[in-house]
Amino acid sequence: MPAGVLVENVAAGMPAERSGLRPGDRLLEVNGRKVDDHLDVRFHAADCDVIVDVRRGKERIALRIEGEDDPFRGVVFEEIRPRVCASKCVFCFIDQLPAEVRPSLKVKDEDFRLSFLHGNYMTLGNLKDRDLARILEQRLSPLYVSIHAVDEKVRAVLLGRPPRRPLLPTMEALLEGGIELYGQIVLCPGLNDGAVLDETMTVLSSYHPGLRGVAVVPLGLSSHREKDDLLSPVTPAVAADVIDSIERKQDVFRARLGTRFVFPGDEFYLLAGRDLPPAAFYEEYDQVEDGVGMVRRFRERFDDAVAERSGRPPAVDRLALVTGTLFAGTLESCLGKVSALNDIDLKVVPVKNRFLGSTITVAGLLGGRDVATALREEAPGYPAVIPAEMVSRANGLLLDDYTPHRLLEESGAAELFIADGGEGLARRIWDGDGRDEPAGTYPHR
């Protein structure tokens, strides 16, 4: 792997272009410090004027870049090449993907930089001393930690091997250096629930407020996994037990810490057939991207957006709304009153996941082929809406490499829209012209 950071593009007229930086240059040093990625570059270029050491072909040259506020404004650097996870987690979902998925989906990153930039969870097991020093120096906070259990023997079983770094001392070093953390526990029945979960929650609570909160989410088991006697699915009974265990601890934590601290993912409530907690339960919605409070926030934003449009006629007379089987009942309850009051046909289309297996029930893991089949069978000719979490922000593709246009063609839908959350869905129903829909609108042609 070549040293330094590749410059992919330099905007004309910007300080770097005026100073002679070109696409294809490789930055080796900034202000005398070696750089490995664009985070390094930005950190070491805190001054308005910087000296960069550049490799251009076989030459090595120095450039002075003078910028009023950001010397590298208009410069596009190569993406961070992620470090690969060294663990063999027994529940790893990437290992359960079918062979035909694109190679990029098979990359198991374990990288503190992606944790900082994108909220990716990491085990901390492959951190080197220099990584730890860099995190502290550059204040890469917050970071997101895959915890699963504080008992090192149990954690080693879950991770498939003992990690190179012990969990709690590494967390302590980060917290003492002022780095905030968020934790995640992937709940595997029979391995880290029950007494193990109770111990984990109790120990972790002693690290608040630096450890801001902990999300507990159920493992996913696809039909493509190698069967493992260690793993069993989260049943409705298990989900109910997990909720009860966490809520008992939350009462203690609220009295002692002023926060619930540990939060169960929405899937537990849906699996257990229990009502979702009110919005206040989720406090700041800090881990909503991990599925904690996502359903409640969807309902809140949808209801608020509908109330804002009270008295206005909808822009559609019928619409098919695609979702996973787990969320279908909730979505129907959101839409029932709207449909009746406005005399419009809002058809919820729950999609059975044949691509990964019927036990995978969330919309974000649906493939285009399954969606196309469901729309053809359940809502032929309807305009259709799919949720934004089904489509990759990076490349605009669904999980099985379908483009939205291909999905439109194979589904037979009149039009295809992509709605971002409850507010985006309300806009689609009332505004009807696709405005403000970040993922776009795809008319049939």
Statement: residue 440 has pLDDT above 60: no
pLDDT digits (tens, 9 = 90+) for 41-87: 999 987 778 999 999 999 999 999 987 788 999 999 999 988 888 88
Q: Give the mean model confidence (pLDDT) for residues 376-391.
A: 94
What pLDDT is recorded for position 49? 80
Task: Name the pLDDT band for 441 (thresholds 50, 70, 90).
Answer: very low
Q: Give the mean model confidence (pLDDT) for residues 341-367.
A: 91
Task: Name the pLDDT band for 130 (thresholds 50, 70, 90).
Answer: very high
Statement: residue 437 has pLDDT above 70: no
Looking at per-residue pLDDT, the higher value among 46 and 349 belongs to 349
Range in 20-34, 188-202, 330-344, 381-395 with the lowest mean pLDDT: 330-344
What pLDDT is recorded for position 380? 94
Statement: residue 377 has pLDDT above 90: yes
Compute the C-alpha angle 401/403/406, nearest 5°: 115
pLDDT digits (tens, 9 = 90+) for 227-281: 767 899 999 999 999 999 999 999 999 999 999 999 999 999 999 999 999 999 9
What pLDDT is recorded for position 85? 86
Q: Give the mean model confidence (pLDDT) for residues 106-125.
A: 91
Compute the C-alpha angle 281/286/292, nearest 5°: 60
Task: Name the pLDDT band for 435 (thresholds 50, 70, 90).
Answer: very low
Task: Name the pLDDT band for 433 (thresholds 50, 70, 90).
Answer: low
HEC sequence for the chain: CCCCEEEEEECCCCHHHHCCCCCCCEEEEECCEECCCHHHHHHHCCCCEEEEEEEECCEEEEEEEECCCCCCCCEEECCCCCCECCCCCCCCCHHHCCCCCCHHHHCCECCHHHHHHHCCEECCCCCCHHHHHHHHHHCCCCEEEECCCCCHHHHHHHHCCCCCCCHHHHHHHHHHCCCCEEEEEEECCCCCCHHHHHHHHHHHHCCCCCEEEEEEEECCCCCCCCCCCCCCCCCHHHHHHHHHHHHHHHHHHHHHHCCCCEEECHHHHHHHCCCCCCHHHHCCCCCHHHCCCHHHHHHHHHHHHHHHCCCCCCCCCEEEEEEECCCHHHHHHHHHHHHHHHCCEEEEEEECCCCCCCCCCCHHHCCHHHHHHHHHHHCCCCCEEEEHHHCCCCCCCCCCCCCHHHHHHHHCCCEEEEECHHHHHHHHHHCCCCCCCCCCEEECC
What pLDDT is recorded for position 196? 98
Task: Name the pLDDT band for 188 (thresholds 50, 70, 90).
Answer: very high
**Residue in the block written with tokens 């992620």:** 82
What pLDDT is recorded for position 392? 87
Statement: residue 101 has pLDDT above 90: no
To the question of pTM greater than 0.85 for the whole model, the response is: yes
Statement: residue 92 has pLDDT above 90: no
User: What percent of the chain has a predicted confidence (pLDDT) above 70?
Assistant: 96
The most confident of 32-36, 179-183, 339-343, 430-434, by mean pLDDT: 179-183
